Amino acid sequence: MSWIQTHLILPFTQPDRCAGLAGRLRSIRKFERMQEKAQRAEQQARLQRLLQHAYDTVPYYRNQFDEAGFRPSKARVDRPLPLPVLTREQLLTAPATLLSSSFQTEDLRPAASSGMTGAPIRFHRDAEAVRDKIALKLHFDSWAGFRPGQTVMRLWGASTSLTRESNWRWRTFETVFMRQLPHGQAVVPAEVMERWRWRLEKHRPRVLYGRATILAAFAEYLQERGTRYRPRTIITTAEVLSDANRKLLTAAFKSEPYDFYGSRDVGMIAAECSEHEGLHYHPWGSFVEFEPVGESPDGTLYRLLVTDLLNYGQPFIRYDTGDCVTLTEQSCSCGRWFPMAGKIVGRLAGGTVYANGVPVPGVRLDPNVAATDSPLLPLRAPWKSRSRKMNPRMAGAMQRGVLIA
């Protein structure tokens, strides 16, 4: 089924997003079969090529490079780039200055961040970048044993993430051809949880995929109500997977979850392998730098800076994702040398719970209020909710998470 999806269904039904998908997946697999020295050399060549393109076609970067006295040929993957950090504020105030002159604006693919952690950031990607990012995401899926065409139930808990699914043609394509069961909901009352449980039992998906806190809340609901079916693979993303929620998901589904990291602006760039020892940042798609910013109970915190090696339409060089991570000193048992984060601490925002017990994922909070391991203050709605109260244990699943995308 996977071969049919990657060679026929996806390229022919979504040529704008999936043209040449099979070849792109082969390129990533070929890269992973290379020796470490060759992989580092390939990443460095890709980095220098992206930087040269930015210098030649983006006046903003030309000025930055000239002021720093830096040339793309000097870039090395074993040292930080001597360039200023690209911030989200710059993308908000002057995004057009970062567009490459080698592309017509109408030929670029517009996109935007969700806006759940602040004002939405609007940006562009070239068509090849879109296709490469989809291939990399599918490759990460394969690390978790998830292949295109296998049944998957997606729980996002935010209707804004499902805009395309409002089109009946898209819903038909996803459910019939891709065997995906997307479910979005702005809030998650018990009635919705029960509907999800019914669909889980009816469709018996192989994969459960979604926001970490939403999946944790669903797992806690299933522990209370019981279930006759458990998916074989659990994939969490979009939010920090806390230790408590990881244990909860493992206990509920008898399978340790795979944690993926990405965002709307840089795409999916890191994932756990089957060893579950940390998140691997894939050098095929990005060059990451870890800038120390302080200490925490889990060790030194590093600000994550990403240079996107795939997007030539609007290059992101040393982009500050706003996320903090801890690093692990030991190498992963899988044998990959890829940069690896021990834990993603995330941003200071988290799932919020209304006073009636209904959790709302992804509400931005003041940094003085939100904390990774501290319960969040409940928001009291100015109206009387008609929703059933959710068990406090389900609210706790939301409180244990921290939003990162």
Residues near 98 by Cβ (< 8 Å), separated by ≥ 6? 58, 60, 61, 86, 90, 91, 123, 314, 315, 316
Q: How many angstroms separate the first and last alpha carbons of the chain? A: 31
351 phi/psi in degrees, rounded to 5: -60, 140
Handedness of CA 251, 253, 258, 261 (dihedral sign): negative
What CA–CA distance (Å, rounded) separates 375 from 362? 15
pLDDT tens, N- to C-terminus, the chain (405 residues)? 588 999 999 999 999 999 999 999 999 999 999 999 999 999 999 999 999 999 999 999 999 999 999 999 999 999 999 999 999 888 888 878 899 999 999 999 999 876 655 678 889 999 999 999 999 999 999 999 999 999 999 998 654 444 444 554 545 545 544 455 555 544 578 888 999 999 999 999 999 999 999 999 999 999 999 889 999 999 999 888 999 999 999 999 999 999 999 988 899 999 999 999 999 999 999 999 999 998 888 889 999 999 999 999 999 999 999 899 999 888 899 999 999 998 888 764 444 444 444 444 443 333 332 333 323 223 223 223 333 444 454 455 545 554 333
List the Cα angle 112/207/352 in 5-degree steps: 50
The label of the residue with tokens 């109260």 reads: 389
